[in-house]
Structure 1
Amino acid sequence: MDGVELLVNGGLLVIFLVVLILPFRVKCIEHNLEAFLFACGVAALTIAGLASIPGETTGWSLAILEEALLAPLKITTVFGIPVGIVQIVLLVGLLIYWFHHRLESAIVGMVERFPLPAIVFLLIVILGLVSSIISAILASIILVEIVNALPVVKKAKVEIAVVACFAIGLGAGLTPLGEPLTTIVVSKLKGEPFNAGFTFLFDNLAIYIIPAVIALGFVGVFLFRRSHTGDTKLECIIGRESLRDIVIRAAKVYLFIMALIFLGEGFKPLILAYIIHIPSAGLYWVNIVSAVLDNATLAAAEIGPTLSLQQIVSALMGLLIAGGMLIPGNIPNIIAACKLEITSREWAEVGVPLGLALMAVFFVILFVPAWVGMG
């Protein structure tokens, strides 16, 4: 390893540790996470520019700038009009601003008709399963508006939101419509030998994801029963945000997505030099880094037609599960944390143990039978 490579890898490792640790240690960073991650992304991308990788572009480029500026504004096209995360967040915020009384009445009616544990279970499971069709973004926006209005204490809202974001992140993995990661994977595997089409992910992941989403519904109910005090003074209330608050939240989401793109591209030298060469069982655990990095970038680097189906499934499950552990890990997390004002520490207190438990369970499911068969 020459001096430049050592400098690049060491610098990127330091940035990774800073991203992982400081949001839990420094209050001002915790409350300005978007700007902090953006600054770390700029630093990572600048350091990555010193690396020289044959056949790969690292560091700053017009393509990266264009992607960072446009990706939050265009994830798909509807009737020829680009639609992105920011527009959806802004539009839904405005609709709630104009029709918040009707939405409040609908949620009040739901709470009056159904017990809260049933609402929590159905909210997690239904949004988790339909996120693959309506997208993880829209599912998470629906989630936070309902959770925000529920007559429950803040701790219960945090737990419901975190568990539901795990479910949404997993469920979105069933089709190319769910999130950028799935779109990239199907695109990379569309040729031989897999000839991946629209149902490829569902055919290979549904057996793992659907039971996991249902299990998360029960986990959500368990956590809710433990945290909710049954305070009868709490009411269903959807506070009417100001137009300024709605615009600021959309801007924060925009900055967050830019930061994740910069971080993902900035860490490319480490990903290409080390991560993609790890055996599948090890890669499954190493993909925990998607808790702080853009899992779409990791998927683009890791997944390809030369892998076996078992390697692809295990890598994807690692990415999808770990993405729920911390706020930067997934777009639903970002939307929920911004709207519900969940701090990095509050998220991690629920997300890290739940994510590690899921990782352990699926490690046994994915790898142990094969090892036993080899024995």
Structure 2
Amino acid sequence: MVMGLSVILLLVLCLPFTKIVERNLEAFLFVMGVAACIVSRSFSWHLVQEALLHPLNITIAVLAMGLLFRWFEKPIEKGISRISHAMPFRLFIALFVIILGLLSSVITAIVAAIVLVTIIRFLRLDRKTEVRLVVLACFAIGLGAVLTPIGEPLSTIVVSKLDADFFYLLRLTGTSVIPAVILFGVLAALIVKPGQYTSAMETAAGKEPSIASKEDEGLKAEPASESYKEIVIRSFKIYLFVMALTLLGAGFEPFIEAYLLDLNPLVLYWINMVSAVLDNATLAAAEISPAMGDKAIQDILMGLLISGGMLVPGNIPNIIAAGKLKISSIEYARFAFPLGLAAMVVYFAIILFLV
């Protein structure tokens, strides 16, 4: 069983970087999830029910918000244009990332990711800057969503498993998460130059973009309103993706229970980098125990949250943003992986020397 699960884990880690798997990521992960459950003999009627029901809330949110943004895209763009004109552009970018990250704990990470896609489309940045801004915003959303039980599946599972109150995770992780979200907002402001925004402002004002801005904008396709078919297909893909991760998590539970639960939380902190490709909510369900102290739970959660932003499959916001903006897995990882690794090192140093 261990050998079989190890092979499946290796495939899940490596194959998403190939083009054929990248184009069919949800189906691939579903097959791997079924295989993991077969190898570990984890299939049960309860698991089937969970796999079918668990994705529903997220799917409904993605579908509903997709429709709302299709219907109200123009008013939203006009509102964003007015706000961005009312303040320095770097300040706008910083506040955009910070507020979206923190609001994700209330509006859910799914809705926050859809808002991100809408605003990125409006900004029409050059390709390199766009990817970096998306990555930083996805890190902020993934972190901020943990502050309440309704923000993302991970926070829901942790609060339920610990039988904690609504504000438990805010008290537990707030002092780590909120500064991190602010830091990602500041970094976003630093990497986006005002000049890279010229074409968007000219377009919003009804002017013909300059030659230089046209060259920058050529790196990114002109955005268009989604069709109803695209919205439905994306919602189905999100459903299949979450179902696949549920199966993967269940299939790997015996492996995790046998080899991870007795490890030091600081070791688990680094092992949890696998949440870059596996569902961090499932890892949290397998690792978090009421017998643990708050400090151990906090360290484990931070490892899961930070590493969840390092690769496209690591978190739902990454999937939505990368899919809608046509950012490849390699393109995303080229900036996100070293950034996430640096964040992991910084927080680990804080754990060791400052806490």
Match of 2:193 in 1: 225
SS in 1 for 2:235: helix
Partner of 1:65: 48
**Counterpart contact for 2:65–2:111, Cα < 8 Å:** no
- Taking a change above 3 Å as real, the CA distance of residues 97 and 202 of structure 1, as seen in their structure-2 partners, is closer
> 1:207 is matched with which residue?
175
How far 1:286 sits from its partner (Å)? Answer: 0.6
Give the alignment's Cα RMSD to 1 decimal.
Answer: 1.9
2:2 corresponds to 1:9: yes
Contact 1:100–1:238 under 8 Å retained in 2: no
Within-5 A mapping of 1:238-277: 238-277=223-262
Equivalent residue number for residue 331 of structure 1: 316
Match of 1:313 among 284, 298, 317: 298
Quote the Cα distance in structure 1 between the aligned partners of 2:272 and 2:178. Answer: 21
Check conservation: 1:160, 1:220, Cα contact below 8 A: yes
- CA drift of 1:122 comes to 1.1
The one-letter code matched in structure 2 to 1:303 is: I
Deviates more, 1:231-240 or 1:361-370: 231-240
Letter in 1 for 2:188: G
Alignment of 1:39-188 (within 5 A): 39-49=31-41, 59-73=42-56, 84-188=57-161
The CA distance in 2 between the partners of 1:174 and 1:162, in whole Å, is 20
- The Cα offsets for residues 72-109 of structure 1, whole Å up to 9 and x where unpaired, read as 11xxxxxxxxxx11112112222222232222322333
Give the superposition deviation at 1:331.
1.8
Q: Take 1:235 and 1:354, find their aligned partners in 2: how far apart are those partners?
A: 32
Paired with 2:354 and 2:177, the residues of 1 have a C-alpha distance of 18
Distance 2:336 2:255 in 1: 25
Offset from partner CA, 1:50-87 (integer Å, 9 cap, x none): xxxxxxxxx211111111111111xxxxxxxxxx1111
Relative to structure 1, the CA distance from residue 132 to residue 96 in structure 2 (aligned partners, 3 Å threshold; closer, same or farther) is closer
1:283-316: CA deviations, max 9, x gaps? 1111111111111111111111211222111111
User: Could you tell me which residue of structure 1 aligns to residue 338 of structure 2?
Assistant: 353
1:294-349 CA deviation, whole Å, 9 max, x = no partner?
A: 11111111111211222111111111111111122112112212222221111111
Distance across 2 between alignment mates of 1:320 and 1:72? 20
Separation in 2, partners of 1:43, 1:129: 37
Shift of 1:230: 5.1
- What amino acid does structure 2 have at the position aligned with 1:210? I
- C-alpha separation in 1, matches of 2:102 and 2:80: 21
Q: CA deviation at 1:229?
A: 4.2
Query: What is aligned with 1:5?
Result: none
Q: Quick one: distance in 2 between partners of 1:238 and 1:102? A: 16
Which shows bigger deviation, 289-298 or 90-99?
90-99
Q: What are the equivalent positions in structure 2 for 1:359-370 lying under 5 Å apart?
A: 359-369=344-354
CA distance in 2, matches of 1:202, 1:229: 36
CA contact (8 A) 1:150 1:235 kept: no
Q: 1:206 to 1:355 in 2, by over 3 A?
A: same
- The residue type equivalent to 1:224 in the other structure is V
Select 2:16's aligned residue among 8, 23, 41.
23
Unaligned runs of at least 5 residues, structure 2: 205-221
TM-score (norm 2): 0.89
Residue 113 of structure 1 and its aligned partner are, at CA, apart by: 3.2
The percent identity for this pair of structures is: 50
Instruction: Output the TM-score relative to the length of structure 1.
Output: 0.85
